[in-house]
Amino acid sequence: MKLLNVLLTLGCAGSTFALTSIEFAKQLGFGWNLGNTLEACGDWINGKTTQQYETAWGNPVTSEKLIKAVKSYGFNTIRIPVAWSNLMLADYTINPLLLNRVAEVVGYVVNNDMYAIMNIHWDMGWFSWFSEPEKEEEAFKKYTKVWTQISEHFKDFSDHLIFESLNEQGCWDNVWNTYNNNGSKSKAYDLLNNINQRFVDIVRASSGNNPNRYLLLAGYCTGLDLTMDEAYVFPKDDKLMVSVHYYSPSTFAILEEDADWGKCARTWGTEAEVNNVIYDFSRLKNYFVTERGIPVIIGEYGTPTTNKEPESIHKYLKTVASTALEYDLCPVVWDAGQYFDRRNLKFKDPEVGMIYKELAATYNNNNDNGK
């Protein structure tokens, strides 16, 4: 794998490392999440191999054929969520089998001239330690050791590999409750700002291609309005991007059945609902891309397929993806197995596959970057 990584570096050296982050982000097109796979975790798994964890949540072992099949629908970016604590030693040493397995999957992506986004995902929820005074120091210790090891192992990968600081765990209701405003907002944001700064410092201090690597920083709760807040402070670095997630309206994009906080919506697509997407994404572009020169990655969006009208799913996916691209944002659909059939290597709903093929053709023609 080391030799492979070096060859990848040589093959792509100078191709986009010289680009601004805005220019680089335009290469990403639109993306797909390898969800419920390498981030599968839980004490109940009690596995001894990476394969036992990778398949624990019902998806098959990832193959290069899968990545090629996803690419055939027009996707140019694959987000790879990872639970690094699986098989980890007590001193936070990452199991070399896991490092090598993730590198193998990243290799599938970059070998096919695609971009890989690799993160620390939920990972058993240890990010809650940051909000506990007696555990905060230990949280930074683990975070530092994890990213130091990742940076070293993946340092020779080309610019087609992007590191992402964390997933959605950058918010702490016990520090500041976003719903009732109880607690200290400044302290909560300072925690995330410090984590993101630590992340940048670790990667930039490492070797190989990491001093120049494009990095993706999680927004506060990866929420739109929470991230478009003056309390969210971006590190000073010219190769950074920001990640937000889009599951709006949550009654359609999250709920499969009624909950105590909302009634499950089976349909979506009124003029007002479409306009809400346009409004949200235009604000994101203005705030980050236009005013601050920071690219935005919609790291996750999507819907369940249970108790949803198929036509509404089609319209939602197409509207979110096409609007994001129109406003120079990179949309990466969350797929835990509900859309793409990873065993038969095709979309379960052919209409969804056609939506993405058509979007890719339009995007590539408009940007003159077709492969």
Dihedral sign computed on CA atoms, order 143, 146, 149, 153: negative
Write the CB contacts of 10 (distance below 8 Å, at least 6 apart in sequence). none
Q: Is 240 helix (H, G, I), strand (E, B) or coil?
A: strand
Q: Which of 300, 309, 311, 351 is catalytic?
A: 300
Largest CA distance in the chain: 54
Is 271 an annotated catalytic residue? no
Write the CB contacts of 272 (distance below 8 Å, at least 6 apart in sequence). none
The gap from C-alpha 8 to its chain's centroid, in whole angstroms, comes to: 22
Query: Is the separation of the CB atoms in 238 and 211 below 8 Å?
Result: no
DSSP 8-state assignment for residue 183: B
If you search the block for the tokens 């604000």, which residue do you land on? 283
Query: Is the separation of the CB atoms in 350 and 339 below 8 Å?
Result: no
Is 54 an annotated catalytic residue? no
Query: Is the separation of the CB atoms in 288 and 21 below 8 Å?
Result: no
Write the CB contacts of 90 (distance below 8 Å, at least 6 apart in sequence). none
Q: Which of 39, 168, 257, 271 is catalytic?
A: 168
- DSSP of 277-294: HHHHHHHHIIIIIIHH--
Integer Cα distance of 163 and 198 in angstroms: 13
The structure tokens listed for 268 are 């979506």
For the annotated catalytic residues, the residue numbers are 168, 300
